[in-house]
Amino acid sequence: MKELILASQSPRRRELLAKCTERFTVEAADIEETMDPQKPLPEEIQKLAKAKAAAVFAKHPEALVLGSDTIVVLDGEVLGKPADEDDAVRMLRELSGRTHQVLTGVCLLGPGFCQTDVSVSHVTFAVMSEAEIREYVASGDPLDKAGAYGIQSMAARYITGIEGDYDAIMGLPVHLVYELLKQAGF
């Protein structure tokens, strides 16, 4: 049986991958995460996931490597991780009362195997007061998350609906990954 490596330092992705298999190790991919805003975002997020997988696969050419990346998109604008608290406040103001997309790209790469895919979900936020936004940002939770929120944490109280894959919104589409692992013979 091949070794499976998760090319991510995200504790959420680690937790989600454990729903598919307990047999994996973790090695963060050290790449520059840039996307071309002129190209279709689903393609770009898959390209980023593949770059992460390829960076780790280069060091472990006999292993299966899973790369993943998630972006939040509002009106065509990518909302990455906030630079600071003010940036998080700005993003949450923009998301308040609106529906946005969450794209999670995955790539499973191994000897003679390379498959990429993307999960697209829609998340709707309730209208948030300024006090609610400031309280949530002060918790520190949004500062290391794309779009300045984590659906699995305190932000859940502001989310009125989702259409798509909850696990993908958290950072890893479990069913999709499970199917890729089966295709790879893992």
What CATH number corresponds to the domain at position 76? Answer: 3.90.950.10
Domain span at 8: 4-183
DSSP-derived letter for residue 37 is: T
**Against a cut of 0.95, is the pTM above it?**
no
| Strand, coil or helix: 107 | strand
For residue 161, the surrounding DSSP H or E stretch is strand 159-163
Residue 1 pLDDT level (bands cut at 50, 70, 90): low
Provide the domain count of the chain. Answer: 1
- Among all residues, which ones are annotated catalytic? 69
- H-state helical runs in 18-129: 41-57, 85-95
Please name which of 6, 11, 56, 14 lies closest in space to residue 31, comparing C-alpha atoms: 56
What does the pLDDT average to over 160-174? Answer: 97
Q: Mind listing the pLDDT tens digit for each residue in 6-37? A: 999 999 999 999 999 999 999 999 898 888 87
Count the residues in the chain: 186
% helix, strand, coil for the chain, step of 5: 40, 25, 35
What does the pLDDT average to over 119-133? Answer: 98
From the CA atom positions of the chain, what is the Rg in Å?
Answer: 17
Query: CA distances (Å), 25 to each of 5, 22, 52, 64, in order?
Result: 5, 9, 15, 11
For the cut 80, the answer to whether the pLDDT of residue 39 exceeds it is: yes
What does the pLDDT average to over 119-145? Answer: 97
Q: Mind listing the pLDDT tens digit for each residue in 57-115? A: 999 999 999 999 999 999 999 998 999 999 999 999 999 999 999 999 999 999 999 99
Strands (E), 19-141: 25-26, 64-74, 77-79, 99-110, 113-125
Q: Mind listing the pLDDT tens digit for each residue in 137-155? A: 999 999 999 999 999 999 9
Let me know if 94 is exposed, middle or buried by CB neighbors in 10 A (0-12, 13-18, 19+). middle
